[in-house]
Amino acid sequence: MKRATQQKQLIMGEITTFNSFFNAEELYHKVSKKNLKIGIATIYRFLNDLIKNGEIHSFQCNRRTLYSNSKKNHCHFICERCGEIKHIGLTKVDFLYQQIKEEICHVQIDVTGICKKCS
Ligand SMILES: [Zn+2]
Ligand SMILES: [Zn+2]
Ligand SMILES: [Zn+2]
């Protein structure tokens, strides 16, 4: 049990060093520099537990899963012609919180259209 707690503290400490989004591999690399005994499977299990507890949020980004403990929204503009994906930094998502009566944890928005290059 003690080892599990130490592992948890180590992984949690590394998560807080990310200022923005990160993926499981990036976290694994950081953690392995400190403790080689933690495998990638443990990292994934840990991340899933944190998501369930609402301590971190997960987003789908270009078919990959990203995580964040600070960011609560992730927005893409996807061009229908060239497929380019742009990240949009949304600051005001209050309208969603007003319109959705459920308890919102985090927000992911994919907006589709035609980019400046293609139009
Ligand atoms: Zn969330
Ligand atoms: Zn993204
Ligand atoms: Zn385009």
Q: Two tokens at 6?
A: 């130490």
Q: What domains sit in the chain, N to C, each tagged with a CATH number? A: 2-67 (1.10.10.10), 73-113 (3.30.1490.190)
**Nearest ligand to the C-alpha atom of residue 61:** 2
Question: Alpha-carbon distance 102 to 97, whole Å?
Answer: 9
**Nearest ligand to the C-alpha atom of residue 117:** 3
pLDDT tens across 4-22, in order?
Answer: 788 889 999 999 999 999 9
* Residues near ion ligand 1 (Cβ under 5 Å): 57, 105-106
CB 73 within 8 A of CB 107: yes
pLDDT at 115: 97
pLDDT tens across 51-70, in order?
Answer: 999 999 999 999 999 999 99
CA atoms within 13 A on the CB side of 64: 9
pLDDT tens across 14-49, in order?
Answer: 999 999 999 999 999 999 999 878 999 999 999 999
Question: Alpha-carbon distance 4 to 6, whole Å?
Answer: 5
CA of 32 to the centre of ligand 1 (A): 26
Q: In what order do the strands lie in the sheet with 107-113?
A: 85-88, 73-79, 107-113
